[in-house]
Amino acid sequence: MIKYITDKDFQRKYGSQKACLTALLNYRISEDGLCFNGCKAPISNYKYLSETKRKALLCPRCLHHTYPMVDSIFNHSHVAIEDWFQIIYEMLRSRNGISANEICNRYGYSYKTAFNIIHAIRDQMSKCVNFRFVNEAVEIDESFLRSGNKGMKKNTSLGVGRGNRKHTGILCIVARGGAAKLLVIPNAEGDTLLSYIQEFVDTSCRIYTDEWKGYSGLERAGYSHKTVNHSKEFTDGPASTNNCENIFSNLKRIIFSTHRSVNHRKIQSYLDEYSFRYSYRNHEDYGFEVFMQSFSSLSEHYVLRNAA
């Protein structure tokens, strides 16, 4: 059984600005763990400078200032870094997602600030879910997410039927017992589905789908492909798409209950958030360390700055 980090443990570890900056620095250090200015002093000896306007860490040997937040979503933000850490953690461990209004009520920020915080976090999550499925049993299914007409012009032609513009097509690729990738797709035609599948799924994978005609070209493309007829049964031996159906069910409940309605231009960021939380659900910190390690190494920034 997985022993997840509790809120009290997280607060104890990241409850102060100094703790957050030091942790962020350690997540972004180079492999040798030495001063970015080349004085060979260990980064672990850096001292926290609380009196500077831009919070920094100081090398005691060469007196070089290092700013752990540079080139990250925390840089030049009036939001305290400890609040950033707490919001990230709450988003990761939440079962139903967190809305911008919840951030407003809990932390006292304006709606615009809360909205920008959440979408900055989702954009960073997207860098962690660019999976390539290799030699795995993969389920693939497509569905529609009701996005409404939010963000569209007043006289936009929406069309009729299941594929109208109030519905956004989404594709789910999930490895059994592993990661998931959710994508916005323009339509569910065979050529469209095949192009997305070839981008993220290797031909060494075993693919299971329903009998939608858009998947008929997978075997010709070199994939091992089995289907299940949902008009007769939920599973046909190993062939099923139950994991995809569960993901769609949970995702739609989150969108409709927590966010109520979403802008169709922002749907991919919501899908990236769900993909991240699903893929790292078995980590004891819900993928918090993976998220923090997705920021670029500070050594890259300071090497370029020193060279200039």
Region 53-78 average pLDDT: 83
Interatomic CA distance for residues 110 and 9, integer angstroms = 28
The dihedral built from the CA positions of residue 109, 115, 120 and 124, taken in this order, carries a sign that is: positive
Instruction: Count Cβ neighbours within 10 Å for each residue of 171-202 and write b for 16 or more, e otherwise.
Output: bbbbbeeebbbbbbeeebeeebbbebbeebbe
245 compared with 235, residue with greater pLDDT: 245
Tens-place pLDDT, residues 237-281: 788 899 999 999 999 999 888 887 787 788 999 999 999 999 999
Give the global pTM: 0.86
**Does residue 158 surpass a pLDDT of 60?**
no
DSSP state of 133: B
Domains of the chain, start order = 7-127+287-307 (no CATH), 137-279 (3.30.420.10)
Region 95-116 average pLDDT: 92
User: How many residues are given for the chain?
Assistant: 308
Region 29-38 average pLDDT: 71
